[in-house]
Structure 1
Amino acid sequence: MDLFRGRPAPAASMRAEPPVSASQNVQSGTQWQNGFVTGGAPSRAGVAVSERTALSIPATLQALRILTGVFAMTPLHYYRRGEGGREAADQRAEAQLFRTAPNSHQTPFSFMELLMADLMLSGGFFAYVSRGPAGRERALTRLTPGTVSIAEHFDRMDGKTLFFDATLPDGTRERFPARDILHIPGFSRDGINGLNPVRYARDALGASIATSEHAARFWSKGGKPSTVLTTEQKVGPEDKVRIRTDWERLHAGHDGSRVAVLDQDLKAQFLSHDMKASQFLETRQFQVVDLARIWGVPPHLIFDLSRSTFSNIEQQSLEFVIYHLGPHYARIAQAITKAFARPGFYYEHLTDALVRGDLKSRMEAYWQQRQMGMLNGNELRAKENLGDIAGPAGTDYWRPSNMEIAGAAAQGGDSDE
């Protein structure tokens, strides 16, 4: 029995992808992946680097917390292109997906925070698009990194088409067309697969992890240097094992402050570690700056204030929004526009709240805009989350009385005659 018999064929406008058939050459190198390898690959420092170990570095954790949090708090608005400029369209159904609830269990903030985290830690974001009876998107379900692989189909007339071999949260595996999967790649070399920063910066992250582990091992021994027990007498192999075991049991770890009583003319020599000569602190300081480079945040945002002053922190914060977050805003807004926006509409992040100056600077800017007639009183009050003023006092635009259109006669002025 054909379970699909009688099902109406989808409208031509609803499907832009060619049908998948055995005759087509649709290949994927790693189809039907299920699960993500979290063990990590070894770095040159001798430690495994994975998402989990990378997040164990305080500077990395803070950098990602800043990137994902600031990105998620930036509202994503929906606009329509009109003859007189753009018009807000946040009340439309496709806008509510990112303004109210992307699904039943996440807020827009938590969804965007997770989206940005996947971009930074795995190089790309995938979400399954649930649709209603009319084909309207109704929910977005994030797919775990490693459970989606991309299959490519090339046609000389239509170019390249992507399909996604995905494992859904219910365990089912299927090949989906592009309209069913929201795919946002990060920085890429082929335009399809985003580069994984954890993989490409493995050695730098591994060096930081190894340095942290070295410090942890040193303090786990009570901050005591390595010890050598020497004697002029001959000590057999079994006695060496026994002496080593007794010494480690009594004097290793946090409880290693007991008094040593040695026999057989044993003498204890301590191998000192000169942290200053090995520039241990300088190494850790440099690694913080190196991690800031990897994740794209100014060092002062991860609490490295060695090169920051009161005069340049504000400028660095502005550069963070423009140069560090700006490409992410454009990348994600354009991907969402391509996937969900109706013709003539587009999504855009509004960063006004992030680039606001101090109170004095804002008031001076508002005053100039008011005098120039750029904004009315209610528009300026809205920027400070204040209510409207009733009547013309809130809606009128000012025009300086001493300014006129160039070349026009002054209104009410004296004649030259």
Structure 2
Amino acid sequence: MTQPWYNEQRVRTPGSVILTSWRAEREAARAQGPANSVPVSGITPGTEAYAWLTGHVGAGRAISERSAMSVSAVYACVSLIGGALASLTLETYQTEGDSRKKYRPPLWWLLNEQMHPTWSAPVGWEFGAQSLLLEGDLFMRIHRVSPYSPDVKWLEPMHPLCVDVIRASPERRAYLFSTPEGVIALDQDDVIHVPGPGFNGLRGLSQIRHVLRQPASIALAGGEQAETMIDQGLRPDLVLKSGDKLNSEQIDKLRGQWAERYSGAKNTTAPVVLPNGMDVKEISISPQDAQLLDNRKFSIEDIARIFGVPPFMIGQTDKTTSWGSGVEQMGIGFVKYTLQRHLVKIEQEFNRKLFKTARNFVEFNAATLERGDFKTRNDGYRVGLGRAGEPGWLTVNEVRRMENLPPVDGGDTLNTGATNAPEPNPPAAE
């Protein structure tokens, strides 16, 4: 699309203006010499370059997107939010005065069925949710029918690590996408960008590098500790006590025989035979004393807190929750306090990038997640339809539509609540 910040000189410049400017800045930085560069030998733990490459800040393990997703709690939270987002329908609306009505332009198919020839819509939404929850940004490239057309041909999800955001002017951002064909520069109007918390005007805050690093590192450490204990046959650390004095050769031989015979899960049932009146003393503490299980539970709750997911929704059900009973209350609370903050940002970003007008807009239909049981729905429909003395605000066909049933004749009349009962003080009969 033609952008207002393109002046005549920029239009006449061949190639991408943004990409040309970016390359010029990079070449100028390189020309300054090795003072601005970091040698490979200098990329060591604790340096800024090491933190940038690995996401490792301070003490602990370096956490990447792949290692974070190997933690069950992280995987469960990301899958839950991504799956919920993918299951919602992003409806398109038109305003008519003070009311609105649904309509289905070609854009509806892109948002709900197929974003791109290589991306179905649900998969694209799950990928976008994972990028937003772990890397701090959701990016989608808008493929338009032509550079001068507002019509959208495709929506292509892009991984945040393949995107570089720069300021093209004080009022506008530019996006550099690394693709197999090379670097592509796009204006902000041709990119869907939904940042997470900590947005600094260019990028959102990466959860992997910051809030998620320590809990995920603790969870990985707990898993490795449990795996090591199982691999060693759940045997504690032992000390062999002997009344006789042993030389170094005897000590090394005894240690080697013990490790060969009794170490590992395969030798857990082998009997222990001690020569020369030797004794065995356990010096390690039990998993309960080490609070291994408690630490793993705490890491699950901490990770769930970061993502805003109630622990019981990812299988942590050992504590009583303050939620109401029933799936309906769980779904309403999850949509209201966790999903809603993501849905609003996505809706507004699509509205301002695809429509640029208040007449047309998109909105997620979260009714499927808030859907109650059959009895609860019927009670709500009964109130909506109205009855004698109580006007209704739903018609029969509107209720049938919400239950995916065909309309019936005469079902579009709204109940006014009027009755044919006699007046309270009828006139006396003549």
- TM-score (normalizing by structure 1): 0.82
Does 2:228 correspond to 1:217?
Answer: yes
Amino acid at match of 1:83: G
Give CA-to-partner distance per residue, 1:115-169, whole Å, 9 cap, x none: 11110011002222222246332112222221111111334xxxx210112201x
Aligned to 2:217: 206
Q: Distance in 2 between matches of 1:310 and 1:184?
A: 30
Aligned to 1:269: 281
How much is the aligned-residue C-alpha RMSD, in angstroms? 3.2
CA displacement at 1:63 relative to structure 2: 1.3
Q: Distance in 2 between matches of 1:199 and 1:238?
A: 50
Q: Distance in 2 between matches of 1:17 and 1:84?
A: 35
CA displacement at 1:302 relative to structure 2: 1.0
**Contact 1:79/1:87 (<8 A) preserved:** yes
Correspondence list, 1:320-359, <5 A: 320-341=334-355, 343=357, 344-359=359-374
Q: Distance in 2 between matches of 1:26 and 1:194?
A: 26
Q: Distance in 2 between matches of 1:120 and 1:347?
A: 22
Q: Distance in 1 between matches of 2:394 and 2:123?
A: 34
**Contact 1:167/1:174 (<8 A) preserved:** yes
Aligned to 1:127: 140
Q: Distance in 1 between matches of 2:324 and 2:302?
A: 23
Aligned length: 385
Give CA-to-partner distance per residue, 1:19-68, whole Å, 9 cap, x none: 4377899979xx9xxxx988552764x43322222222212211111111
Distance 1:40 1:138, change over 3 A: same
**Contact 1:38/1:51 (<8 A) preserved:** no
Aligned to 1:82: 96
Identity percentage of aligned residues: 23
Query: Any idea what SS the aligned residue of 2:209 has?
Result: helix
Aligned to 1:138: 153
Give CA-to-partner distance per residue, 1:344-387, whole Å, 9 cap, x none: 21111111121122211110110111113311111101111111
Q: Distance in 2 between matches of 1:365 and 1:109?
A: 30
Aligned to 1:399: 416
Amino acid at match of 1:129: I
Aligned to 1:154: 169
Note the residue ranges of structure 1 that are not aligned, 5 or more in a row.
Answer: 1-12, 404-409
Deviates more, 1:309-318 or 1:325-334: 309-318
**Contact 1:40/1:51 (<8 A) preserved:** no
**Contact 1:126/1:143 (<8 A) preserved:** yes
Aligned to 1:179: 189
CA displacement at 1:231 relative to structure 2: 3.0
Amino acid at match of 1:130: H
CA displacement at 1:266 relative to structure 2: 4.5
Q: For 2:381, which of 349, 366, 372 is the aligned residue?
A: 366
Query: Any idea what SS the aligned residue of 1:329 has?
Result: helix
Does 2:3 correspond to 1:15?
Answer: yes
**Contact 1:27/1:152 (<8 A) preserved:** no
Amino acid at match of 2:187: P
Q: Distance in 2 between matches of 1:413 and 1:139?
A: 69
CA displacement at 1:251 relative to structure 2: 1.1
Aligned to 1:188: 198
Aligned to 1:71: 85
Aligned to 2:40: none
CA displacement at 1:301 relative to structure 2: 0.1
Deviates more, 1:271-280 or 1:336-345: 271-280
Query: Any idea what SS the aligned residue of 1:41 has?
Result: coil
Q: Distance in 1 between matches of 2:135 and 2:21?
A: 33
**Contact 1:94/1:341 (<8 A) preserved:** no
Distance 1:126 1:238, change over 3 A: farther
- TM-score (normalizing by structure 2): 0.80
Q: Distance in 2 between matches of 1:15 and 1:187?
A: 29
Correspondence list, 1:253-268, <5 A: 253-256=264-267, 257-263=269-275, 266-268=278-280
Distance 1:310 1:100, change over 3 A: closer
Q: Which has the higher helix share?
A: 2
